[in-house]
Amino acid sequence: MNIIKKTVVVLSIFVLTGSFMFAKEKSDNPFADTEPEINPKTNRPYNLEGVNVIIADYLPVNAKSTNTKSTKDLWDEWTFSTYHMNVYTKHLWNAKQFPQMAMNYCVSGGKDDFVFVVDDRIAALGVKAGLFYDLSTIESVNFYDSRKYNQNTVNKLTRGRSFYAFSWEKTEPLLGVYFNKKMLQEKGYTSEYLYDLQLDKKWNWETFERLCNMITADTDYDGETDVYAMSSDLYDFAVLCLDSNNAALVNRDIEGKYSSNIINSSTMEALNWMIKIWKKHQMPDKKHEGPDYCYKAFAEGKTAFMVGHQDPRIANYDFTAMNDDYGFVCFPLGPNSNGIYKTVSDTKMVVIPACYDKNRAERIAKAIDLWLEPVPGKSNADSWKSNYLPLFRDGRVMDETLVMMNDYPNPRMDVLVPRIDVKAAYRDMLTGVNTPEEEYFYTRIGWSNVFDDYNDYVEKRERLTDDEILSIKEDREQRIHLTTIEKKDDSEEAAAEGNNASEKKTIETNVESAGDDSSGKGGKKAKKKKK
């Protein structure tokens, strides 16, 4: 009898202790009462059966702090526990080895549930070789959810209705125009002049050229230019000249076929203007200081404009230490720009190996999708700006210039074909070796052979009809339109209702709209239980 009593007491203590520990664990996580996302096929919360997704990256991964847990850490814990899954990033191999090792795994497979971060070195090649999973066939994930997925990346590696890469990182605002405020003030303009022009969409090729003409001068009248308006990186300047006029050296059509675009009228217009500005207003490297001379000249206050990367700590020159004040705007609009300021983009691309079967690919994709679900009650809409605060001296860079660049990133197609040397083409034209027309004929045969090699895969597939091509174009334009509306609505709500109320409303609205997704992809989204 005593043994029975002791057993009952021990069991009671165990149960009470367990209940206390469970209650403590539950109270420690603010998301314990969150309702999980429901799998529409089972009407139960998703159960991913312990899938362990490894995001393989060629760049080192920053170690997480083990001392404190952020809100995102707690949300991840709830997500991983609720759906029986795990997602984490791991540095594999080095940058040089990574492309070949990733392609080998995509062919042969293995026991690990890898997805790979790839760059332009193997992106188009992987699609051509059939190494990447066609994400348009994933049924449980809506990759067009702009809260989670970078639409620029989703639309980058495409063939017809198929697409092969995704990313959750916000597009980095890459290239723009630095300007010396002091030099503009000496010509009678305010320090805000370029920002005001940009806001009114009057910052264009014409105004840029007018300002350059005022600054470039032969001050001692000896027949040689003494002051130059610009000291820019050759490649950055060339890329933005074309991008600002909706032009490019390489084109890819709706079916995924590449071709030379040099002879296109918008491209020719941009190339001729590019050469004119460069020849007249670019400070030459007379002292043979090397490619960094352009940064040095701007940092020392010798030129008014410098086209380059958005990080002012370029090369060995830190613009944040300049004596003269500086600003940063988008590249001026070309005649064929449609009034949209933008920048070229180069976000990471994540791919799922094509060697996985349907169930495995679905499970991996859904695990990442659940991991990317926004933290309830928290908005990160403007958190990216904090990274740029130490780099600039005025708020209009973050609130206007970088926002425009983020809203309209432009994917580059030339970098997807590594055997096409666009840098050499730009250099030939800007140094006077070839005119744009001559460069077209000079590169035509060599480039055509490379394009034919990539396009051979497309030719072997069933060709799309004209109606199918039109349907795909309309579908993409509609998605871009909806994404633009979402961004506009979010910003208006934030301005009208204040931070806390706006954040709550934006998240609730997004969660409800995602649950009602007309595409039929995904299930009912996780949300906080009502108390």
Other beta carbons within 10 Å of 4: 8
Is pLDDT at 516 greater than 70 in this prediction? no
- Name the residue among 308, 292, 310 with its Cα closest to residue 300: 292
Which of the four pLDDT bands, split at 50, 70 and 90, describes residue 370?
very high
pLDDT of residue 344: 77
Task: Tell me if 337 sits within 8 A of 266, measured CB to CB.
Answer: no
Which of the four pLDDT bands, split at 50, 70 and 90, describes residue 495?
very low
Task: Tell me if 121 sits within 8 A of 99, measured CB to CB.
Answer: yes
Is pLDDT at 133 greater than 60 in this prediction? yes
Tokens of 492: 């208006």
Q: Which of 71-75, 350-354, 411-415 has the highest mean pLDDT?
A: 350-354
Is pLDDT at 138 greater than 50 in this prediction? yes
Which of the four pLDDT bands, split at 50, 70 and 90, describes residue 77?
very high
Instruction: Tell me the C-alpha distance between 56 and 27, whole Å.
Output: 34
Q: Residues 148-176: pLDDT tens digits?
A: 998 888 888 888 788 999 999 877 777 89
| pTM flag (> 0.85) | no
Q: Residues 309-325: pLDDT tens digits?
A: 766 555 566 677 778 88
Is pLDDT at 481 greater than 70 in this prediction? no
For the residues 327-355, what does the mean pLDDT come to? 89
pLDDT of residue 249: 92
Per-residue CA distances from 39 to 32, 46, 154, 205, 385 (Å): 19, 5, 24, 53, 36
Look at 369 and 254; give whichever has higher pLDDT: 369
Instruction: Tell me the C-alpha distance between 55 and 78, whole Å.
Output: 20
- Name the residue among 42, 53, 167, 45 with its Cα closest to residue 525: 45
Is pLDDT at 5 greater than 90 in this prediction? no
Provide the 8-state DSSP code for 397.
I
Per-residue CA distances from 508 to 36, 50, 103, 502, 504 (Å): 15, 29, 40, 10, 6
Instruction: Tell me the C-alpha distance between 479 and 151, whole Å.
Output: 9
Which of the four pLDDT bands, split at 50, 70 and 90, describes residue 505?
very low
pLDDT of residue 227: 94
Query: Tokens 């208006």 — which residue?
Result: 492
Taking only Cα atoms into account, the Rg of the chain, rounded to an integer number of angstroms, comes to 27
Percent of the chain predicted with pLDDT > 70: 76
Mean pLDDT of the chain: 80
For the residues 7-23, what does the mean pLDDT come to? 43
Task: Tell me if 440 sits within 8 A of 262, measured CB to CB.
Answer: yes
Task: Tell me if 145 sits within 8 A of 154, measured CB to CB.
Answer: no
Task: Tell me if 295 sits within 8 A of 308, measured CB to CB.
Answer: yes
Other beta carbons within 10 Å of 219: 9
DSSP-based three-state secondary structure for 297: helix
Q: Any residues with CB less than 8 A from the CB of 129 and at least 6 apart, and which?
A: 103
- Name the residue among 351, 317, 441 with its Cα closest to residue 121: 351
Other beta carbons within 10 Å of 472: 16
Is pLDDT at 484 greater than 60 in this prediction? no
Is pLDDT at 76 greater than 90 in this prediction? yes
Q: Any residues with CB less than 8 A from the CB of 301 and at least 6 apart, and which?
A: 180, 182, 183, 322, 323, 324
Burial class (CB within 10 angstroms; exposed 0-12, middle 13-18, buried 19+) of 158:
buried
Q: Any residues with CB less than 8 A from the CB of 16 and at least 6 apart, and which?
A: none
Is pLDDT at 81 greater than 70 in this prediction? yes
Cα 15 vs. chain centroid, distance in angstroms? 51
Q: Residues 222-281: pLDDT tens digits?
A: 888 999 999 999 999 999 999 999 999 998 887 778 899 999 999 999 999 999 999 999
DSSP-based three-state secondary structure for 96: coil
